[in-house]
Amino acid sequence: MHSFGYRANALLTFALTILALMCAMASFSDNLNHPTPTAQVQVLNINWFQKQPNGNDEVSMTLNISADLQSLFTWNTKQVFVFLAAEYETPKNSLNQISLWDGIIPAKDNAKFWIHTSNKYRFIDQGSNLRGKEFNLTLHWHVMPKTGKMFADKIVMSGYSLPEEYR
């Protein structure tokens, strides 16, 4: 340890190694968190339900989404990305997932929310299978950390269905 450069190099590498270990421990501490989120979605109204000229069904609806995702936040959470997907089965595809709405929750205070909106993204089928279709609305979320592993999970809400005829 006889020169500045030698000591500076040793200090810097050791400091960065310890920083990496601290970030790994911070990420590991996320596993100690057991979240209990809740969510509820109401389909208030089917605004219109048409068959496009290219043969695909399209539906527009107004939704009432309320959720409490506060328990997902830890000290190592940067933001939570949440999106609502409609899931259903058709003869052609065993699973169709259409994202209807998404949002970013930057802090724990904003995580208990209630939103009244029409679908942000268009609900278009591959084909013409939506008349009378039963579908699930699933709220997915990605907990994005400040450092480390990202956790993703969902709540499935079933029992929704579309009208038998076009409107």
Partner 1 sequence: MQILLLASAVVGFGAGYVLGSFQMMILIYAGGVVLTTLVTIPNWPFFNRHPLKWLDPSEAEKHPKPQPQPQPQQPVSSKKKPSKK
| Interacting residues toward partner 1 by CB under 8 A | 4, 7-8, 10-11, 14-15, 18-19, 21-22, 25-26, 29, 74-76, 146
Q: Of the two residues 16 and 44, which places its CB atom closer to partner 1 in the complex?
A: 16
Q: Of the two residues 26 and 155, which places its CB atom closer to partner 1 in the complex?
A: 26
Residue 113 CB burial class (10 angstroms; 0-12, 13-18, ≥19) = middle
Q: Of the two residues 72 and 130, which places its CB atom closer to partner 1 in the complex?
A: 72
Helix H or strand E segment including 21: helix 4-29
- The whole-angstrom separation of Cα 116 and Cα 40 is 12
State the minimum distance, in angstroms, from the CB of residue 76 to partner 1.
6
In Å, how far are 36, 41, 55, 87 from 158, measured between CA atoms?
A: 19, 10, 27, 9
| Under 8 Å between Cβ of 85 and 142 | no
Residue 133: strand, helix, or coil:
coil
Q: Of the two residues 23 and 157, which places its CB atom closer to partner 1 in the complex?
A: 23
Closest to 69 in 3D by CA, of 18, 164, 8, 139: 139
Q: Of the two residues 73 and 135, which places its CB atom closer to partner 1 in the complex?
A: 73
- The whole-angstrom separation of Cα 20 and Cα 26 is 10
